[in-house]
Amino acid sequence: MSWAKVRIYYDAIPGAIGSLITATSATSTDAVENIYRMLEVNKWKAANTTSPHYITVDLQAGNPTKTADYLAVLGHNLYTAGATITLQYSSDNFAADINDAFTAETVMSDAVYLKDFTQTPSRRYWRVKLTGITVAPYMAICIWGDKTELGYASASFDPHAQEVKAQINQSYGGYVTGVHATHTERSMRLRFEDADAALYAKVKTWWETSGMEHFFVAWDRTNNASDVFLMRSDLRFDNPLMNGGAYRNLTLNLTGRKE
């Protein structure tokens, strides 16, 4: 069994410079703008169960149109809400030109949802369409855009490495008197040895675009499709030149809260 190439998902149409985002409804404390800020502590929540429910992005006149080949959602209740989801795009604000990026499907759990699909044409108008909802839906993160496929990791790594963050109280005799666990943190160290200029350019663009923001990582979409993690990079970007400057050894040190 061979692994797939590592994929990262950070390019996002929601929140693009000059764009406008709206929702069919939102509560007074859970604005739709929260979905592209890549934080788990805030969310968008609908104010009712209107169906269909739309989250719409207008890239607006004068700004570049964009393509997409993925949709990612985290911190949601779409399974509990009974939601069916799809992503749509249009050239006329969905007046007559309405296109589905993929066939609408039922969300099968409240864990992270990631959908890869064939890249769409470049369009100005986009919207997530939710149907069949029985309770008010919410989402902490919802982004779509173009994924970045890196390469095959050339050094061994544990995609499920994790550490429990906890305070452990002990008596003077060394007996454990109490354990207070706060959360579990994932870690992943991806290494790409002898990477060419094209791969380095992808990593450099990600670093300069995403910075310390969260993004989604899928280490093997072929054989481990459900292993999609929200992670962030460490503070150091250091990828030394090798072999006379033609290649580099690339290292991504990633961490993130286990969902």
pLDDT in tens, 129-138: 999 999 999 9
Instruction: Find out whether 150 and 201 touch, Cβ atoms under 8 Å.
Output: no
Q: Which long-range contacts (CB under 8 A, 24 or more apart) does 160-166 make?
A: 160/186, 160/227, 161/186, 161/187, 161/188, 162/186, 162/187, 162/258, 163/187
Say how far apart CA 94 and CA 74 lie, in whole Å.
26
Residue 245 CB neighbour total at 10 angstroms = 8
pLDDT in tens, 155-176: 888 889 998 988 889 888 888 8
**Which domains, from first to last, does the chain contain?**
7-149 (2.60.120.260), 162-257 (no CATH)
- What residues contact residue 89 under an 8 Å CB cut-off, 6+ apart? 68, 99, 101, 120, 121, 123, 125, 126, 127
Q: Coil, strand or helix: which one is 198?
A: helix
Phi first, then psi, for residue 221 (nearest 5°) are -70, -20
Share of the chain above pLDDT 70, in %: 98
pLDDT in tens, 191-246: 888 888 899 899 999 999 988 899 999 999 999 999 999 999 988 887 777 766 67
Q: Coil, strand or helix: which one is 245?
A: helix
> Mean per-residue pLDDT for 178-185?
88
Give the burial string for 209-235 (b: 16+ CB within 10 Å, else e): ebeeebbbbbbbbeeeeeebbbbbbee
> Mean per-residue pLDDT for 12-39?
97
pLDDT band at 177 (very low <50, low <70, confident <90, very high): confident
Say how far apart CA 5 and CA 160 lie, in whole Å.
17
pTM greater than the 0.85 cutoff: yes
pLDDT in tens, 39-71: 999 999 999 999 999 999 999 999 999 999 999
